Structure 1
Amino acid sequence: MRRSTRPSRQPSSRRRTAVLASATALLSLGVLVPTAPAQAAPPGPVVVRVVDGDTIEVRGTGRVVPAGDVVRVRLLEIDTPERGECYFREATARTRELLPPGSTLRTETDVRLKDRNDRYLLYVWNEQGVFVNESLVRSGHARSVLFEPDDKYWKTMTAAEAAARQAGAGLWSACPTS
């Protein structure tokens, strides 16, 4: 019978002992730190429907909105035309384009979590990373509106509105009283 000249694929017990001793020494010195497996951040809320240009319904995942709850969210620092007003349909359609049902959001709170109508007050980013509140103002689908004390992005919103007004974007040229 012929012996194989191939080296064994399994480390010898002496080698395993040496590796284990080295790892133990590194751990005790703090050089090698055991880590837990990386966990992905839980996804944000999921869009259920767009109510109008500045209000959506989402299903929570437990971060800000309780997991499984379907709640109304009012986009902070903006105001879009209401039903029957000039540019209502366009503003609602644009919000639906940015936040299609089934899409996941990244959200951020400000000072207050809810308004007097029990709607969550949030800044929202879509799956593409677009800051939806600001995008609606910049494209002329919304006005910037400050409801103190929630003012985290107020400078961003007023700059976006100034740009939209100057360009005559959206409601700034379509609606005579804007």
Structure 2
Amino acid sequence: MTCFPRIVLKALFLVVLALAPLPVFALAAAASNDDDYAGVTIDKLLVVPEGGQFEAGRQMSIRVNITSSSQQQGPIFYIVQVQDPDGYTDYLKWEQVAFTGQRTFEFSWTPQKEGRYIIQAFVWDSLSSPKPLSQASAGFLDIAGTTSVAHCVGAAVCFSGTVTKITDGDTIRVNNIAIRLALVNTPERGQPGYKEATDFTRALCPVGSTALVDEDDEQQAGSYDRMVAKVFCGDKVLNAELLNAKHAVILTTFCDKSEFASEPWARQYGCR
């Protein structure tokens, strides 16, 4: 039997991981079958484009935030992988780092072709004997070949992700991040129109679809642990469509506190 040094085995594993046309979801399944996690959570997986547009040849910033509810400390090994539209690994980043309960990582990647990419992050205790410390986190990213119809403005957070929950008409989750729609207000549970507004949002931005989130530059502090933003679903602005369908009203008290107050849909329905 031939024996290889551990460092050689690590290098061989990473070369195979980087070059093999292995679907990202296969890695996710391998990292998610163990129910005995260590309380580590990947609570944010964001992709922020240079200039606010998701198009081929434009640099993207990938941001990953890892936290622990069990005071997990010591070294962890994280991997971020991007699968291109043809099913091949387009980008792979791995690193063993010290961990004291919360870490944020950021790195750059530039897609070279249009189409749907899959971005995934997961955390292991080590590379030599990998054991998952968290559920894998994954999302879709649609890259345009030319300038995107939907794009962000301003300097705050901008990211594309997967709709994971519809809370009500004006609150959704994208990549499991709570998003409160800027400037608009829909009926609360128990009020007339609640179901209609919630169903409208669910139909326009169904769970599993891709949404583009443009955080409000003037409200970066958020609202009750929710990011305040304008949301694109396809080529539609959810905030505006709710107003057009009469499922929402403008929150005029925020017109002087929102980046989006001067947009046509906001001015049409009450911002001056």
Q: TM-score, normalised by structure 1?
A: 0.58
Residues 1:149 and 1:38: Cα distance change in structure 2 (over 3 Å): same
Number of the residue aligned with 2:200: 94
Residue in structure 2 matching 1:136, options 242, 257, 260? 242
* Structure 2 counterpart of 1:138, one-letter code: N
Match of 1:13 in 2: none
Aligned length: 117
Q: State yes or no: 1:149 paired with 2:149.
A: no
State the identity %. 29
Residues 106, 88 of structure 1: alpha-carbon distance in 2 compared, 3 angstrom cutoff: same
The CA deviation string for residues 104-158 of structure 1, in whole angstroms up to 9 with x for no partner, is: 111212222342411011101112x111110100110110114242142444234
In terms of fraction of residues, the more strand-rich structure is 2
Whole-Å separation in 2 of the counterparts to 1:49 and 1:142 = 19
Secondary structure at the counterpart of residue 118 of structure 1: coil
Task: Give the aligned residue type for 1:86.
Answer: P
| Unaligned 5+ runs, structure 1 | 1-34, 60-69, 163-178
The answer for the alignment partner of 2:173 in structure 1 is 57
Alignment of 1:88-127 (within 5 A): 88-111=194-217, 112-127=219-234
Q: Tell whether 2:154 aligns with 1:48.
A: no
Q: Report the secondary structure of 2:188's partner residue.
A: coil
Equivalent residue number for residue 11 of structure 1: none
CA distance in 1 between counterparts of 2:263 and 2:212 reads 21
Q: How does 1:7-46 map to 2 (within 5 A)?
A: 38-40=112-114, 43=141, 44-46=160-162
Q: Give SS of 1:83's match.
A: coil
Distance apart, 1:45 and its partner CA: 1.4
- What secondary structure is seen at the aligned counterpart in 1 of 2:236? coil
Higher helix share: 1
Q: CA deviation at 1:37?
A: 7.5
Pick the structure with greater CA Rg.
1
The code of the aligned residue for 2:220 comes to L
The answer as to whether partners of 1:138 and 1:160 remain within 8 angstroms in 2 is no
Cα root mean square deviation, aligned: 2.5
| 1:77–1:154 Cα contact (<8 Å) kept | no
The 1:37–1:95 alpha-carbon spacing in structure 2 relative to 1, beyond 3 Å, is closer
Find the counterpart in structure 2 of residue 67 from structure 1.
none
Equivalent residues of 1:79, 1:142 under 8 A apart: yes
Code of the aligned partner of 1:161: Y
The 1-side partners of 2:250 and 2:237 are apart by 14
